Amino acid sequence: MKYKSFIGTFFFTLILTVLGHVFFISLIDPQQTAPLSLSKSHENYHDNFLLKKVKLIERFPFETLILGSSTSEAFLVSEVNHHFKTQSFHASIGGGSTVARYTLFKKALKSNNSLKRVIYIADFFEMNKLSVPDLIAFNNELKMEIDTQDFMPHMGHYLKYLFSHQMLESAFLVMKRKRKNYHSPLLVDGSTGQSMILSTVETLASFNSKISSHNRIKLNEEILENYGTYSNNVLAGFEELNIHAKNLVESLVSESQKKSIEVIFILAPYHESFRKKLLSNPKLSKRYLEWITFFESLNSQSGVFVYNPTTSNIAIDPDSGVWRDGIHFNQFAATYFLKEIAENRRLNHE
């Protein structure tokens, strides 16, 4: 009897705990992905960065959409506006997968009739294993932009996500934001004053600048850390360019062509030392060349311009002073790229 009583009490407590957790998450709905929406009181403080970008996209008038990951942070809205005589929106997000970029593009396509140009900063990592981010997959408004179920997560993954400690942390963060009346740092043009890149390396304000000996030590440390993360995690198991990622990029191009929207692809370069370490792996070296070839093949299509700075001065000079780590270059390098692209486009149209 005592054993049965213990089992009964255990399962009763477990069920109450599960129901309590679901009720709490549904009440706060920290990432706008809860199974139920029991209250709107925390809606203005939610933790779904993608959804916040979408809401701004729907409200902010612009002609140029900037898509990318943390590498695209260097491309300032003001510089894009200046070199392309346009009004831009920065839709880039940290770790931005191809799915996230495509979702933001689709939202812009639907809500903005004045869209004339997409600037897509392409990253090598996004062509590895593809999955739909939880913030998209489990949000009803965002997941509707994904036309296929081929790489959508299953229900078991949702349960793991729902009961994760990250979800609880997100809920408490949202509660704290509401208590302090803290709103998103996002500006109306999608940019933010908070950098996505954690680096203490001091870069220089010139494309052809040389790094100081003091900063070289810091940069080498950052490169080693980048290499460990990329080789063991981000680029692990990179057997081929992901077919779904390629299809999404090609869909973005074809849907842009239907509306006469220009697409500019910028291939994000690596620091020379980081690239050499990374591509010493023959498999990754082969994938890297395939990645470049895939994007350059799009250059022949109408309305598409591909800019490849992977062998530019900053990518082959180990002493370049524009690098924050092995992956992220500074705004002066990005501005140089924008200036070159604008000039090339002008010459092509003459």
pLDDT given at position 10: 72
Over residues 99-144, the pLDDT tens digits come to: 999 999 999 999 999 999 999 999 999 999 888 899 999 999 999 9
The pLDDT of residue 347 is above 90: no
% of the chain exceeding 90 in pLDDT? 72
Helix, strand, coil fractions of the chain, as percent rounded to 5: 55, 10, 35
CA dist., res. 299 & res. 42, Å (int): 45
Question: Is the distance from CB of 277 to CB of 223 less than 8 angstroms?
Answer: yes
Where does 48-133+184-349 sit in CATH, by number? 3.40.50.1110
CB atoms within 10 A of CB 168: 15
- The terminus-to-terminus CA distance of the chain in angstroms comes to 90
pLDDT given at position 162: 93
Supply the mean pLDDT for the chain.
91
Rg (CA), the chain: 22
Q: Which residue has the tokens 């370490």?
A: 277
Over residues 247-296, the pLDDT tens digits come to: 999 999 999 999 999 999 999 999 999 999 999 999 999 999 999 999 99
Enumerate the domain spans of the chain.
48-133+184-349
pLDDT given at position 253: 98
pLDDT given at position 75: 96
Q: What integer is the mean pLDDT of 308-333?
A: 93
